[in-house]
Amino acid sequence: MRPNRLQISEAAERLADNAELSDMVSIDPGGVGFTSLAFVRAAKVLAIRQSCGLKSFPSGFAIKTEEYPLAHRLYLYSAGTELSHHAAEFLDFALSDAAQPLIAEVGFADRGIERQGVELQGDRLAFSLTSPEEFSLPLMREMLTELRDAERLSLTFRFTPGSSTLEPRSQSEAELFARLLAAGRYAGKEILLVGLTDSVGDFNNNRSLAVRRAQSVADTLKASVGAGAIDDVLILVQSYGELTPVGCNETGIGRDLNRRVEVWVRDHRR
């Protein structure tokens, strides 16, 4: 709340234990609390309507794409010196495939990649159609034609402000995805890297910016594995500029969310 210059109400009750907080909310008809997904228990997780009317639903997919506003990252820090054997093994395990089912089991969002069809993206498509912001119906038709048989992956790549350089988390996910591609996880599929932007600036210029960012992701994927390792994978770079925002362009946080490259997969088109 602090970055948005907001304060917690003096009438709010603070609890040190997440489980107790969730239990109290579940028995109070007007109670609202903020806790980890792992401690929802008998309470209900709420969808959030952003200031511009966009809805964000509390799904594992939305948390992994960071499109649910109350999601936050869990960081693991090292002291910058050489790690002990046990510490290094712990960090390696936390990022490994073997750890992900255990992370999900205790209620946290793991690094496993989920899929979602375009039909489940309906709310943001409807918002894009009815929003007062600049819009291109031919471009929307092109987008729906390209994605109608595709599934979106929960991988979403974002960049350091004002650049085409992937931020650290996205860099790590690009390396993970490249290894999966090299291992044949998506054999027989076309990979669509879809660049999208906020609404600041010229509509056509934004589309050009988004395609450059999508291309930078494609380059990162190829550089993350050995030469030629994914040369047989069909990676298509596309851009739809300002269409289908996931955040409100009136806010800095919303604009950050909208500057992204999504990953979609579909069967090879003959």
High-pLDDT (> 90) share of the chain, %: 58
HSE, side-chain direction, 13 A CA sphere, residue 270:
0
Compute the Cα dihedral for 165, 114, 109, 98 and give only its sign.
negative
Instruction: Give the pLDDT band (50/70/90) at residue 270.
Output: low
Across 74-96, average pLDDT: 86
Lowest mean pLDDT among 72-76, 147-151, 161-165: 161-165
* 98 compared with 81, residue with greater pLDDT: 98
HSE, side-chain direction, 13 A CA sphere, residue 249:
19
Instruction: Give the pLDDT band (50/70/90) at residue 170.
Output: very high
Query: What's the whole-model pTM score?
Result: 0.88
Lowest mean pLDDT among 105-114, 118-127, 211-220: 118-127
Mean pLDDT of the chain: 90
Domain segments of the chain as ranges: 2-64, 77-108, 115-267
27 has pLDDT over 90: yes
26 has pLDDT over 90: yes
Architecture of domain 115-267: 2-Layer Sandwich (3.30)
pLDDT given for residue 229 in this prediction: 93
Element (H, E) at 18: helix 18-27
Compute the Cα dihedral for 92, 103, 117, 143 and give only its sign.
negative
Structure confidence by residue, pLDDT tens digits, 195-249: 999 999 999 999 999 999 999 999 999 999 988 899 999 999 999 999 999 999 9
State the residue for tokens 């499109």: 67
pLDDT given for residue 133 in this prediction: 81
